[in-house]
Amino acid sequence: MEVLITLDHLKTATGYDRPADIERCMKKNGIRFLYGQGGKIFTTIDAINAAMGLKAQDSNITSEEIDFID
């Protein structure tokens, strides 16, 4: 199951409040992210793992297997 990490979780993880600061931090650390509705960024656990040099769990994910962190 792929887990999407939302902007609110990225605020907690990075310690930044402003989206521009979070985006800069993500770019600096090589974490790939996308822009969602309203321009809010999000990423996945696999993207974070890849930036850390860890192997992705499963690249054959279907839309039914995506879980959002609350």
Query: Which residue in this structure is represented by tokens 């600096």?
Result: 28
**H/E stretch holding 11:** helix 7-14
Print the domain residue range for 33: 2-68
39 pLDDT above the threshold of 50: yes
E strands present in 1-70: 2-5, 34-35, 41-44, 66-68
Give pLDDT, residue 5. Answer: 94
Using one digit for the tens of pLDDT, what is the confidence trace for 42-70? 999 999 999 999 876 555 555 455 455 54
Which pair of structure tokens corresponds to residue 19?
A: 């989206």
Give pLDDT, residue 66. Answer: 47
Number of domains in the chain: 1
